[in-house]
Structure 1
Amino acid sequence: MEGMLEKQLMQAAEVVEQHLDAEINRLDNFDEDDLEKIRERRVQAMKKAQAQKQEWTSKGHGTFSELSNEKEFFDVCKESKHVVCHFYKDSTFRCKILDSHLSTLAQKHLETRFIKLNVEKAPFLTQRLGIRVIPTMGLVKDGKTQGFIVGFAELGNCDDFTTEMLEWRLGKSEIIQYSGDLSAPPDNAKHSSKASFMTNKSKKTIRGKGDDSDSDFECD
């Protein structure tokens, strides 16, 4: 067994060495024109990225902004390819928790527009989208609603979820460019460690649609 393992390791090392040799040979054979082409492509890519960043910034990306009416919501969804809208109510304290996380993510993910809209100023939109629980986040892509994140049920079902947890959930919906591992929620370890502690204690949870808890808003 030891001989077989040693042989396999030697073969793997030889493959890696061959790849390195091939890359070194490729670089050695580059002439000045090849290097100039590479530099030019990098410069163009940087210019394109900067232009995209400026375009996003001009449309309000990079900030978590509040809309004053329903018309502004439709205008934003026409302008920006990816939109996260927090439908909130002043009397719901969990909306303030969500605001803090969204403000952080708005600065990090310029590719997505982050906005908020008071449901009391948007009765038509609230009814049209079937929003019955507050807070609710609407996820809009290419002008079409792709889904909703209702309450905190998908964020660990607790008030102290992390910004990384929300970022992961938005990444799952492909509404932001997520660079982490989508197969595992980042808060799993934290909540697993609390499981034994919470066994004998009551824990208030955030429910999904249809819940009648005091932090939910039911539309008439």
Structure 2
Amino acid sequence: MTDTHQPLAFAESLYLHISILGTVLLLLPCCLVSCLTIAYLPIFKQSQAAMANQSMEIITKVLEQSAKLVEEQVDAQLAKLNEMDEDDLERLKERRLEALKKAQKQKQEWLSKGHGEYREISSEKDFFSEVKDSKNAVCHFYRNSTFRCKILDKHLAILAKKHVETKFIKLNAEKAPFLTERLRIKVIPTLALLIDGKTKDYVVGFTDLGNTDEFTTEMLEWRLGCADVINYSGNLREPPTATQRSGTKFTKVEKKTIRGRGYDSDSEDD
């Protein structure tokens, strides 16, 4: 009995040792990773802090250099002014006054042509004479039954007063079948943006304005600036949409006929 059980006990012991060794080998990589993490974590954090400090130093140097450059330019301008005598200052004053007079004269000319206010014209014939008379013009093709046209009216009235360099007019699409056909206007409301009497761009519905009824006047102003139909002083690369709320989705309604021609409307209450 003793001789029989000794090989069996030895086999069981060997199997147990092999199992323990296998478990140790499986856990060894995890233990090594944990040990390395514990050992090098402070070094990694120090490296991150060093990189952050280095980035701040670079930014600080760039800002200092920019400020120094601006300061040098201002100093140069001041030095130039200090070097001027009374005759130079008088000539500078005259040039500025001349520029102001020229700008005022140009403004009066625009006002005499109907700029500075948002007006309705009554016929297609009026359209051609109005846009021919002004370098920049915005014409709103509207329809009384489309409520989104009234939304545009509000914003256009504000912009007409602000941008006197551009003429802002509106025309009832139902009274201009030839013109709407020629300009391929299929959606109401549509803004035709004209420069030197030629149509350069269109604002069709509210898609370019954030696709919402609650777009801001600034958003419409930016869109007109992108077409170069107004003198826009902001950043044309980014629309002013930061404060815009998400808009409603428009539902395309069935075409309606205006004097035998079809029009789409982005309004839902036609």
Structure 2: unaligned runs, 5 residues or longer:
1-53, 263-270
Comparing 9-18 and 91-100, the one that deviates more = 9-18
Q: Does 1:37 align with 2:79?
A: no
Q: Which of the residues 176, 192, 212 maps onto 2:253?
A: 212
Following the alignment from structure 1 to structure 2, what is the Cα–Cα distance between the partners of residues 101 and 41? 36
**Letter in structure 2 aligned against 1:190:** Q
Separation (CA, whole Å) in 2 of partners of 1:89 and 1:156: 22
Secondary structure, in 3 states, of the residue corresponding to 2:151? helix
Q: Which has the larger radius of gyration?
A: 2
1:78 and 2:132 correspond: yes
**Counterparts in 2 of 1:14 and 1:118: CA distance versus 1, 3 Å:** closer
**Aligned partners of 2:146, 2:62: CA distance in 1, in Å?**
61
Match among 140, 144, 150 for residue 198 of structure 2: 144
Rounded to whole Å, the distance in 2 between the matches of 1:186 and 1:9 is 27
Q: Note if contact 1:92-1:216 (Cα within 8 Å) is conserved in structure 2.
A: no
Distance 2:108 2:162 in 1: 15
Q: Partners in 1 of 2:238 and 2:62 — Cα distance?
A: 32
Q: Secondary structure at the residue paired with 1:175?
A: coil
Would you say 1:165 and 2:197 are equivalent positions? no
What residue in structure 2 maps to residue 28 of structure 1? 82
What is the root-mean-square deviation in Å for CA atoms of aligned residues?
A: 2.6
* Structure with greater helix percent: 2
Shift of 1:155: 0.4
Report Cα offsets for 1:143-190 as digits up to 9, x if no partner: 111011100000010111111110000000000001111111112442
Q: Report which structure shows greater RCO (CA 8 Å, sep ≥6).
A: 1
Asked if the contact 1:134/1:216 (under 8 Å) is kept, the reply is no
1:156 corresponds in structure 2 to 210
Fraction of identical pairs, as percent: 55
CA distance in 2, matches of 1:216, 1:76: 27
Specify whether residues 67 and 6 from structure 1 end up closer, same or farther in structure 2 by C-alpha distance, changes over 3 A only.
closer
Distance 2:93 2:65 in 1: 36
1:110-129 mapped onto 2 (5 Å cutoff):
110-129=164-183
Q: Which amino acid aligns with 2:261?
A: C
Offset, 1:7: 7.0
Aligned length: 207
- Letter matched to residue 205 of structure 1: F
Question: Where in structure 2 are the equivalents of 1:64-75 lying within 5 Å?
Answer: 64-75=118-129
